[in-house]
Structure 1
Amino acid sequence: MTAVDLPAVPRVLIAEADPWSRDLLKQVLLNVRCDARLDVCADGQQAATLLREKTYDLVLADWELSGVDGLSLLRSVRQQRRSPALPFILLSSRNDSASVREALPLAPTAYLTRPLNMESLTQRLQDLLLNEGESVYCEIPPLAPGMTLPAFLERRREASDGAPLRVDVKAAVQRSLGPEGLDLKQLEDQVRMDPQITAVLIAAANSAGYHGTPVQTLHAALNKLVPGQSMNFILGLALKHNVVLGDPGLVAYAERHWQLSQDSADYARRLARMLELDHERCYSACILHRLGDLALLRCLEDWRQGGGALDDEAIGESLDAFGAAYGSALRTRWRLPLELRQLIAATYSLEGGVYSREALVVNLATQMARLTEHEGLEALAGSKTARLLKVGLSELLRVRKT
């Protein structure tokens, strides 16, 4: 595809089995051409059907697709002898010379191995989808006539992209890169206070591409994913729409929820260490427990940018009505491990008659985080949760002052 043949609006097929890698490819591509018409699928048979039914300007396909693999898709495309040849980027975890030799006769436009080099992929997409010096601007669509805020939020709940980012991911990754590559410990220290990054990496590490015992903490997720893949997932988050809030009022609400998450997580970690429990798991549950409220604030930014009115009263009412539902929907859709979801639920309330000690810890920690500096610690020490944990005022004071 040369500059003279570039379509006004390109149609692109992405065929990738892993949902988080699929989302990453989608975001990288939309960052290059926000107007692209995308078809996204998870298996080769569906990709083959789409290729028969539609005319595409570019295909990105994973070699390891189930059913019909990416190499077979490429072979089928090349047998059609289209002129000029359809640009086809083949993605693979195979970097051995035999695999490369097998693919090259089919003339893929690019053969990219995992973990992907994001800069290289972006440059290839720019070369294929943009004329030299060209950029594409996409306006934010206005709200539908008569749309109300509750109806908008209800509609967006099942499609929410999650929370805005708390940390500057590019700076965090850059600080974590050393002469020997990515320092996972350094990266964890940089991003562990960010609910969105924590949730996405845990979800990605438990997706279909990564087998074994489910992970429930950021530390375990980073060590289960390939380091380059972790870095790509984190950097990919920065490409998404409204990942940084622009409305000062929404930023103020987000800061309060981020701080509540951080305080809860710090208290939970200290309590769990004191009681010789799984402190990383307790930290993880608390850092994630306001994910839904933060995701809602991100959707409120969409509402505002689409022309909707927004004030403090509307923000507060929306958080009360939809915050918990957004969190539940995200945790379910992202398939966070059931044990972690149950522990997150314990930050809000304790149901039933038997509680794990970790559940008691996260519940007590979130209660502590909601207190002001000089209120309620004595009453909290006398609560049912504290009594079950056998934690008194002196221990709570130590946790707060640590």
Structure 2
Amino acid sequence: MTAVDLPAVPRVLIAEADPVSRELLEQVLSGIRCDARVDTCGEGQQALYLLAHNAYDLVIADWELPGVDGLSILRGLRQQHRKPVLPFILMSRRNDSASVREVLPLAPAAYLTKPLNREDLTQRLQGLLLSSAEDCSTAVSAPEQTLTTFLERRRDSSEGAPLMTDVQVAVKRSLNPGGLDLKLLEEEIRTDPQITAVLIAAANSAAQHQGGGLVQTVAQSLHQLGTGQSMNLILGLTLKRCARLSVPCLADYAERYWELSLHTGEYARMLARLLDLEQERCYCAGLLHRLGDLALLRCLEEWTQAGGELDESEEVGNLLDQFGASFGSALRTRWRLPLELRELIAAAYGLGGGVYSREALVMNMAAQMAHLTEHEGLEELARGRTARLLKIGLPELMRLRRK
């Protein structure tokens, strides 16, 4: 469901035998998009007929449908290799890991366990219907505008960074007989800037609603959101347009900025450990400090898919210099990332006047270390202002570099 393809009035199919669940789904859909066209049916064969004769923008189906079950319907749709992928929410009373493993390769937009929770259902449908409608109003086909104009418009509505982690593999590795292991999931996804930012943003939204404290790390986010909501958020990211970059030049740039983010995060973690500071928060700040550059590359992929031209030899680098920082700032503000985390990210870019926390100094030092060549620059870095303020000398820096 892309901004180009989504109609002004979305059409939704609900395939659910239980009248109570069907009514709940219709009520929630009406509350989110009162203009949505909703078709309903109570058995699988009728659902297949409706899918064959109508173009839908979202399908919500029960696995346990009589006749042809919902999983079979989802599998049949995926075998059609439709582009873009049709968002499909699968519902079921099954919550065991074997069932999740069976569903995962088919890339559902969400896997909801029954009985349905109105709040979770509303949040999931809002993410699919409202964000897509907003995109529809802001995305214009490439030939109708200049690249600069396109990026200026997308800066305040971009989807964020492309995914750098194989989400399906990550979730599969995190499953055990008891279900999804959040600790294993954390280890699998903690290196992905987009997943990290989205989980932190979602957890803080939930925390504010429930009166909880601010969340600033992946581990805190997973704990706050819980198993079901975390998995649905992560899987939902795979269905967004340009979730993966296919233009080789843009993919190469993304790998470089991702590696730079990873190195910054790891150096920040090691420095924080050395100085007895909060390690995971520093790591997350380092991982996210190039989020804007990655988001810009994703928008450039959108531009090329819409038919726009791109001079890969020079233009991409210039555009990153021109727009990367502002894309990052807009995303961090729009997603309401905690102010303290944003301040640490800003410190990775530079220190002005004033008094800085030790964690901010750590971020600045980590970013400088990540930019050094393999055998040069440590001596100068050890003589610099940040090292003096942290009271870190050349021997400590050399030990960190060897790890």
The answer to whether TM tops 0.5 is yes
Question: 2:313 matched to which residue of 1?
Answer: 312
| Structure 1 residue 135 displacement after superposition | 7.3
Equivalent residues of 1:169, 1:238 under 8 A apart:
yes
Amino acid at match of 1:237: L
Question: 2:354 matched to which residue of 1?
Answer: 353
> Using a 3 Å threshold, how does the CA distance of structure 1 residues 375 and 120 change in structure 2: closer, same or farther?
farther
Q: Find the aligned partners of 2:202 and 2:63 in 1 and give their Cα distance.
A: 22
Amino acid at match of 2:344: L
Question: 2:109 matched to which residue of 1?
Answer: none
Q: Find the aligned partners of 1:279 and 1:148 in 2 and give their Cα distance.
A: 43
Q: Find the aligned partners of 1:135 and 1:392 in 2 and give their Cα distance.
A: 57
Amino acid at match of 1:370: H
**Structure 1 residue 241 and structure 2 residue 241: aligned?**
yes
Amino acid at match of 1:378: E
Q: Find the aligned partners of 1:127 and 1:291 in 2 and give their Cα distance.
A: 37
**Structure 1 residue 277 and structure 2 residue 277: aligned?**
yes
Question: 2:153 matched to which residue of 1?
Answer: 155
Amino acid at match of 1:199: A
Equivalent residues of 2:201, 2:337 under 8 A apart:
yes
- Structure 1's unaligned 5+ residue stretches are 1-29, 40-55, 61-69, 78-84, 90-116
Amino acid at match of 2:298: R
Q: Find the aligned partners of 1:270 and 1:331 in 2 and give their Cα distance.
A: 25
Amino acid at match of 1:385: T
Amino acid at match of 2:317: G
Q: Normalising to structure 1: TM-score of the pair?
A: 0.70
| Structure 1 residue 134 displacement after superposition | 7.0
| Structure 1 residue 143 displacement after superposition | 3.2
- For residues 213-241 of structure 1, the C-alpha deviation after alignment (integer angstroms, 9 at most, x for no partner) is 01011111111111121111111111111
| Structure 1 residue 119 displacement after superposition | 8.6
Equivalent residues of 1:34, 1:136 under 8 A apart:
no
Aligned residue runs from structure 1 range 201-280, under 5 A? 201-208=199-206, 209-280=209-280
Q: Find the aligned partners of 1:121 and 1:389 in 2 and give their Cα distance.
A: 60
Give the length in aligned residue pairs.
312
> Using a 3 Å threshold, how does the CA distance of structure 1 residues 144 and 302 change in structure 2: closer, same or farther?
closer
Alignment identity in percent? 56
Equivalent residues of 1:118, 1:232 under 8 A apart:
no
- Structure 2's unaligned 5+ residue stretches are 16-22, 31-37, 43-59, 86-135
Q: Normalising to structure 2: TM-score of the pair?
A: 0.69
Aligned residue runs from structure 1 range 19-98, under 5 A? 30=1, 35=6, 37-38=8-9, 74=27, 87=40
Q: Find the aligned partners of 1:393 and 1:35 in 2 and give their Cα distance.
A: 57
Amino acid at match of 1:320: D
Question: 1:340 matched to which residue of 2?
Answer: 341
Backbone CA RMSD of aligned residues? 3.5
Equivalent residues of 1:74, 1:88 under 8 A apart:
no
Question: 1:96 matched to which residue of 2?
Answer: none
Q: Find the aligned partners of 2:186 and 2:342 in 1 and give their Cα distance.
A: 21
- Give the 3-state SS of the residue equivalent to 2:243 in structure 1: coil
Question: 1:190 matched to which residue of 2?
Answer: 188
> Using a 3 Å threshold, how does the CA distance of structure 1 residues 137 and 217 change in structure 2: closer, same or farther?
closer
> Using a 3 Å threshold, how does the CA distance of structure 1 residues 125 and 352 change in structure 2: closer, same or farther?
farther
- For residues 114-142 of structure 1, the C-alpha deviation after alignment (integer angstroms, 9 at most, x for no partner) is xxx999599859969x9998775469998
Q: Find the aligned partners of 1:134 and 1:253 in 2 and give their Cα distance.
A: 32
Q: Find the aligned partners of 2:286 and 2:62 in 1 and give their Cα distance.
A: 34
Q: Find the aligned partners of 1:150 and 1:395 in 2 and give their Cα distance.
A: 45
Question: 1:401 matched to which residue of 2?
Answer: 402
Q: Find the aligned partners of 2:265 and 2:64 in 1 and give their Cα distance.
A: 37
- For residues 29-58 of structure 1, the C-alpha deviation after alignment (integer angstroms, 9 at most, x for no partner) is x39x9645556xxxxxxxxxxxxxxxx755
- Give the 3-state SS of the residue equivalent to 2:240 in structure 1: coil
